[in-house]
Chain A
Amino acid sequence: MNVLVCISNVPDTTSKINFKDENKSFDSSGVQFIINPNDEFGLTRAIWLQQKAGATVTVVTVGDASCEPILRKCLAIGADQAIRIDAPPTDGFFVANQLAALCKKENYDLIIAGRESIDYNGAMVGGMLASFLALPYLANCVQFEMEGSTATLQREIDGGKEILSASLPLVLGAQKGLVEESDLIIPNMRGIMQARQKPLTVEMAVEVEAATTIQHFEKPQKKGPVRLVDAADVDTLIELLQNEAKVL
């Protein structure tokens, strides 16, 4: 079984977000990058398939050489091989096309993307990729179990869960629930040493135009100070919410 996990290289969740070039690009100076949290849940689920069902796990990212430490981390966590598609990830459509080109060359039984990246927040690459490959896609996937070539799945919906089935190959949008926080694998020394020997190949990007262009970024407006109400005086809070904020 061949499993592909799509990895997005994103700023650490604690990062302060700043822009440069007249707000036209993200300022990565001083920013620590991590594996997109949703992708890490997906990677962990893939490693289970490797451990229990002998699956081969490949990780892929679309990005420049600065993404390689993240791919090495995935290898240290346990992925068998890594691929970097050498192009700036201009938009979700562009990334999905690059990933689709790779998937058409290789035969993956299962492709795992994250529900959403925490930088672009497109929540689009997985669904588009599946459509380009004419495969089923399951967004917000919180459970994946396999029996032969049939998968039993769960999707988180507003106010509950949906239970589904599909046959492989298939694309998942992983999120917390697929595995738990406590299941995440922290690379040990042996993993880190082994990761240095594992293959990390760089592939050329295919020719494709992005569907969207970012004109510029901006930061939210600074908000005023909090209005404090005395703990003994909840009436005042209710009054403010009713008459000033008009939300009750």
Chain B
Amino acid sequence: MSVVVYVESQNGIIKKAGLEVASYGRAIANAIQTNLIAVTFNTDDASVLNTHGVDKVYNIDTEGDIFFNVNRYSVSLAAIIENETANIIVVSATANGRYLGPILAAGIKAAYVSNVVALPSSYDPITVKRSCFTNKAFNECVSNQSRTVISLSSNAFGLKEQTTDAEHAEADYLNSNSTLKVTATDSITDKVTIADADIVVSGGRGLKGPENWHLIEDLASVLGAATACSKPVSDMGWRPHSEHVGQTGKPVATNLYIAIGVSGAIQHLAGISSSKVKVVINNDPEAPFFKAADYGIVGDAFEVVPKLIEKLKAIKQ
């Protein structure tokens, strides 16, 4: 029996979400007194896993296959899971983790539980709390299988350090006969993504037009934050679709979410409500966002935001 975590890395560097699943996996391994095994692909330096409680690391070299290959990753992981007789497998809620999870679960005949927000409340059978109805509710979910793949929501557990002396093991990068081939990626590399960010600054229709987005971008840049927007803003083409957050867009589960000129429609709030602290800046005191926010300023974004940027710049210097 053991716990296996899929630790995602990007350009050879382990992602924060990867360390979070390791931290979560460690807590499970402690609770059921077993080993924590991490599987990562093409990671330059996996030693950071030593500080996040990993007992054994398989760092698989994909031999020049530079893109995420869901089928080959899945079969390679499945072989390790078999060898290590793992019964709990944890993946992150990144785009790749959520893609891999159900395919891996089907491959190893496991139950799959996504959007998990806490440690299991029971290990026999495995019972976990997950969010559903796009964060409008939670459900306690029981696995009926002997194996369970858990996809952990971003920022739900956080990073916990525990020093271990991880053993390094070798495993093959197995083949699959899928016809699916990645030919290229088109990435906005120099920007913090919504999925990775600790802070997200989001703009709504209250900003009046794309020409005013420097307010959002400047505030995001001084905070090291990712930028996001409401659905109409992306529908009108003011911002790319990839920034649309909410029930039908991307979920946001950051430490701090700052909404500027966003009214706070139920579909918007559903997608961002698992963010820890929410701040709203809106000139209408009746805007529904004020009911959902922790902190708020009733005021004109065009006056408040420049002041905020200026003060923050002064602090950060």
Q: A139, A177, A226: which contacts B296 (Cβ < 8 A)? A: A226
State in angstroms the CA–CA spacing of A229 and B101 once bound together.
Answer: 43
Q: B96 on the interface (CB 8 Å rule)?
A: yes
Residues of B within 8 A of A165 (CB): 180-181, 183
Q: Contact: B133 with A226, CB < 8 Å?
A: no
Q: A248 on the interface (CB 8 Å rule)?
A: yes
Q: B94, B106, B136, B183: which contacts A131 (Cβ < 8 A)? A: B106
Residues of B within 8 A of A214 (CB): 139-142
Known: A157-B96, A209-B144. A245 touches B137 (CB 8 A): no
Interface string of A68-93 (1 = CB under 8 A from B): 00000000000000000000000011
Interface SS of chain A: helix, strand, loop or mixed? Answer: mixed
Residues of B within 8 A of A235 (CB): 311
Residue total for B at the interface (Cβ-Cβ under 8 A): 92
B13 to chain A, nearest CB (A): 14
Q: Contact: B113 with A212, CB < 8 Å?
A: yes
Known: A142-B241, A211-B145, A217-B137. A238 touches B292 (CB 8 A): no
B145 to chain A, nearest CB (A): 5
Candidate in A19, A118, A234 with the most chain B CB atoms within 10 angstroms? A234
Q: Contact: A181 with B235, CB < 8 Å?
A: yes
Known: A227-B294, A238-B311, A247-B277. A118 touches B181 (CB 8 A): no
Q: Contact: A182 with B297, CB < 8 Å?
A: no
Q: Contact: A137 with B312, CB < 8 Å?
A: no
In the complex, number of A-B residue pairs with CB atoms less than 8 Å apart: 249
Q: Contact: A17 with B183, CB < 8 Å?
A: no
A78 to chain B, nearest CB (A): 21
Q: Contact: B186 with A163, CB < 8 Å?
A: yes
Residues of B within 8 A of A32 (CB): none
Known: A164-B183, A211-B143. A124 touches B248 (CB 8 A): no
Interface SS of chain B: helix, strand, loop or mixed? Answer: mixed
Q: B102 on the interface (CB 8 Å rule)?
A: yes
Contacting residues of chain A (189-240) with chain B, CB-CB under 8 angstroms:
209-220, 223, 226-231, 234-235, 237-238, 240
Size category of the binding interface on chain A: 35 or more
Q: B179 on the interface (CB 8 Å rule)?
A: yes
Q: Contact: B67 with A162, CB < 8 Å?
A: yes
Enumerate chain B interface residues (CB-CB to A < 8 A).
Answer: 67-68, 70-71, 94-96, 98-99, 101-103, 105-107, 110-115, 127, 131-145, 178-189, 191, 193-196, 198-199, 223, 235, 241-242, 244, 247-249, 255-256, 266-267, 270, 273, 276-277, 279-280, 290-300, 303-304, 307-308, 311-312, 315
Task: Report 5 cross-chain contacts, Cβ distance below 8 Å, ordered by A residue.
Answer: A92-B112, A128-B112, A159-B196, A231-B304, A247-B256
Enumerate chain A interface residues (CB-CB to B < 8 A).
Answer: 11, 13-14, 17, 19, 37-38, 92-93, 96, 118-128, 130-132, 136-140, 142, 155-167, 170, 176-177, 180-182, 209-220, 223, 226-231, 234-235, 237-238, 240-241, 245, 247-248
